[in-house]
Amino acid sequence: MKIIKVTRFGLVAISLFIGSIISSCAISNKTYLPDGSEGYSISCDGAAVGINVCFEKAGQICGSRGYDIINREGQVVPFGVGSATNNQAFVTYGAFNTKSIMIRCKE
């Protein structure tokens, strides 16, 4: 039976990677739209996070007034990480999903 040693760095990297995948929060920033009105940019990134998290955040920001969607975008960003020492190798790969919406609260 072969024992695989995991360094402290490897353990931290794996923990951060898993945490970033399963985190389900939306980040919002107040901004100004081209016409000078106030708007919000909302990001809800992560493979396990749906666009609905962005819409829920928009609802929290604007409340019962509602909101208009100015822009909606998303993409899949592939990544890969690898390292090797003596007789050991560590490789991980996958994709990170980015999703965001730009909204304006209704008056």
In a domain, 3, yes or no: no
44: containing domain: 25-105
21 phi, psi to nearest 5 deg: -75, -40
Could you report the per-residue pLDDT of 63-98, keeping only the tens digit for each? 999 999 999 998 877 878 888 888 888 788 777 788
Tell whether the model's pLDDT for residue 24 goes beyond 60: no
Judge whether residue 23 has pLDDT over 60: no
Question: Rounded distance, CA 57 to CA 66, Å?
Answer: 12
What integer pLDDT is reported at residue 38 of this predicted model?
95
Tell me the percentage of the chain whose pLDDT exceeds 70.
Answer: 77
Question: What rounded mean pLDDT belongs to the chain?
Answer: 82
Does 13 fall in a domain? no
User: What is the number of structural domains in the chain?
Assistant: 1
